[in-house]
Amino acid sequence: MTYDKNNIFAKILRGEIPCKKIYEDEYVLAFYDINPQKKIHALVVSKGEYVNLDDFSSKASDKEISGLIKGISLVAKKIGVSDEVKGGGYRSLVNIGENGGQEVPHLHFHIFGGEKVGKMVS
Ligand code: 5GP
């Protein structure tokens, strides 16, 4: 699996393209999706150069893996969609490859919330 250093999220990570940043740490950068599919739509992007979840699972360190998973919950809390909040709850998903509908070849999780997100798969 070859990582393309010129994908759009790589450019955002390098600060070459702006984003509406939500959170950043050693393992993740989170920002709002440019084309939101729900009232709240955030993206949690791995800091490491991984094409997708399969690439990440096979190559990332345990610290990177836990950092990313914890990052998703942390971001959900920051944007107010955590299930701990009254009226909260959200969906997080990751698209993998062509049939999975992945457009940007850099690992990222989506967070959808702020309203009922509806059917799981359409
Ligand atoms: P995928 O289909 O790869 O899982 O999701 C890619 C997501 O990235 C899409 O929801 C798309 O709207 C979002 N996206 C693409 N380009 C940009 C960009 O330049 N900035 C931001 N914030 N989001 C982007």
Measured CA to CA, the distance from residue 77 to residue 101 in angstroms comes to 27
Residue 121 placed within a domain: no
Residue 22 placed within a domain: yes
Give nearest CA residue, ligand 1 atom 17: 34
Contact criterion met (CB below 8 Å) for 77 and 60: no
Tokens describing residue 99: 């049939």
Residue 119 placed within a domain: no
Residue 60 CA, ligand 1 centroid: distance in Å:
22
Residue 122 placed within a domain: no
Number of domains composing the chain: 1
Residue 1 placed within a domain: no
35 lines ligand 1 (CB under 6 A): yes
- Active-site residue flag, 108: yes
31 lines ligand 1 (CB under 6 A): yes
CATH number for 98:
3.30.428.10
Residue 3 placed within a domain: no
Predicted confidence pLDDT, tens digits, the chain (122 residues): 899 999 999 999 999 999 999 999 999 999 999 999 999 999 999 999 999 999 999 999 999 999 999 999 999 999 999 999 999 999 999 999 999 999 999 999 999 999 999 999 87
Domain that holds residue 14: 8-113
